[in-house]
Amino acid sequence: MNTALRDALTARLARYDSLVEVGVGRRPDVAAALAADGASVTVTDVVDVTALDGVEVPEGVRFVRDDVVAASDATDPGPLYAVDAIYALNLPAELHRPVRDVARATGADFLFTTLGYEEPDVAVRRETVGDVEIGRETVYVAV
């Protein structure tokens, strides 16, 4: 992701004080930028991202190994998700509903981007960040 587009996504998410990024994988750059701006950020994935080649959890960001699908099936998703917003970047369609359900259960906003060729599998409001010069990204906000 180019720096300007990362900054545009970060600016959109910066209105939240506490966030969880679901499925961080190999790309913690938005979480790092949010933490550098003073937000409380936790990133999750089903695998330990520190075991992935070249991936380090950025300073100021907390990593928790977690399965959001299992959390969505639980009566209470737990304190991990008790945040202002849950977000995911390049979220596959099969995870849209589970993450939305976790966000609803905890009262968090849910924002995400898709893999690009998939449409959201939940009701959303669309927002565009970036511009023609730096690139554009559609951010979906679950309603």
Within the chain, residue ranges assigned H as helices are 3-13, 29-36, 68-73, 96-106
The pTM assigned to this predicted structure is 0.96
CA-nearest of 33, 38, 39 to 19 is: 39
Mean confidence (pLDDT) of the chain: 95
pLDDT higher than threshold 80 for residue 1 = no
Lowest mean pLDDT among 10-14, 28-32, 53-57: 53-57
pLDDT the model gives residue 137: 94
pLDDT the model gives residue 48: 93
pLDDT the model gives residue 86: 99
pLDDT the model gives residue 20: 98
Cα separation, 113 vs 116, in Å, equals: 8
When pLDDT is averaged across residues 44-70 and rounded to a whole number, the result is: 93
* Six token digits for residue 33: 């930028």
65-97: per-residue pLDDT in tens?
999 999 999 999 999 999 999 999 999 999 999
pLDDT the model gives residue 116: 84
pLDDT the model gives residue 51: 81
Domains and CATH numbers, the chain: 3-142 (3.40.50.150)
